[in-house]
Structure 1
Amino acid sequence: MLSGDFNLIADPSDKSNDRINRQMMGRFRRCISDLDMHEVYLNGRRYTWSNKRTTPTLEKLDRVLVSVEWEALYPASFLSALSTGVSDHCPLHLVLEANLRRGRRFHFESFWTKIDGFQDVVQSAWSSQPWVRNPFKRLAAKLKATAKCLASWSNKYVGSIKQQIRIANEVILRLDVAMESRVLTVEEMELRRLLKHKLLGLASLERTIARQRSRVLRLREGDACTQYFHAHASHRHRKTTSPSFGWTEF
């Protein structure tokens, strides 16, 4: 490891002050680009080294660089920093298969648009969020609120299609068995007719959901087939984009 101004950083943000050897930084970035490498994101820490002075200089000197092929092999990797201990560097801890818990994904059902109350739920959720100056954050908040309200509305007024189909079939079966030993009452006959009618609608909804899921599956399979090429394209985009620019708040 080189010392002083020759510590290898890839971006001005990798150092806590502006005493930067930009020539060396440019060479390091070109080397990373020529090797076609990508840096694994470091979670939880911005810098990995300190000179331990009263007003310390902090730098990101420790990093993990990988190839596109490695990224494809370990898409669930997770990089974090450990305690410096007796060193002035942070040891890096790389988990190849991180089991990160994720919330249940939101699935929009196309048949929702045909149910009474759908438009009211969307309009109410969309307008319920306070105004935020940043348009991206504002859109994200509105989409999140709408998804949450739609999921709650569906659970309350639509419920599980599969469970409703199972219940309807079970009741129809019991009435069919009872019909073999006695005459069904008028109410039982009407219930059986109503359940059969509802079952047709539920089966149609189930087919609609299945078709929608199959489209998503085909898209995912298509993405999986071209994942390698997409990764290369994304990496090339990162290479041609200057890393010295940060996010702009609106």
Structure 2
Amino acid sequence: MTKIDKAHHPDCLLQALSTTTSDHCPLFLSLEEQFHHKKRFRFELFWTKLDGFLEAVEEGWTCDMEIVDPFHKLDILLRNTAKHLTAWGKRKVGNIKLQIAVAKLVILRFDYAQERRLLSVEERWLRCTLKKLILGLASLERTIARQRSQIRWLQVGDANTQLFHLVANGRKTKNFIPALSVNGQIITNQKGKEDAFFDSYSDLLGRDVAQDHTLDLEFLGIEAVDLSELDMPFMEEEIWKVVKDMPADRAPGLDGFIGIFF
């Protein structure tokens, strides 16, 4: 056991592991500090192909009737739908990795039994069904990983699942900020990091103040441009055109809903 200064690092434990095939002893450092990634809602592309999807959306698309502000109401509707679809998706599909592992274990038992005796008709049917199930679940797992990876140049038929998972995990790790250094102080908790970012950007943006000087565009000979149409409200046709032109498998905002949902 390797000793460390417990007075300065009370939540750390440094211990030696076995040497195994080498004469060097690796050291394992464990920390009590846990970094929890906040789970975000992700609309899965395969949900639309499952039975009962529209019914699940209708059940989740609910809001308090007392809310009259349209923007607040839409936000509540999307939040409630996201929660309902997440729970519905878990019940509908379940744990894909666990199902594949269980199916492989049962098939392995049948393989062992087939070496000693002939399988019955029911056993052969179950073995064949489990193999088809594994193919379907593997394809579904590959689809989820492909959507997470966000690599546009990969073809649909590419079966390099390991690449998809590596890219998806890499993006998740890259987007996570474990700690910040502010004035020589290391900040690791979520609230402290949020405050540090807010204060930093507030200092960069500054505050709006009245200008003491301005430019005389007429004296400079610069013609004025009529920008009054920019103040006009968006037309319904313009909004629908933007929505329909969005990629079906990409989320334009932070709510997690992709283009195919709209």
TM-score normalised by L of structure 2: 0.45
TM-score normalised by L of structure 1: 0.47
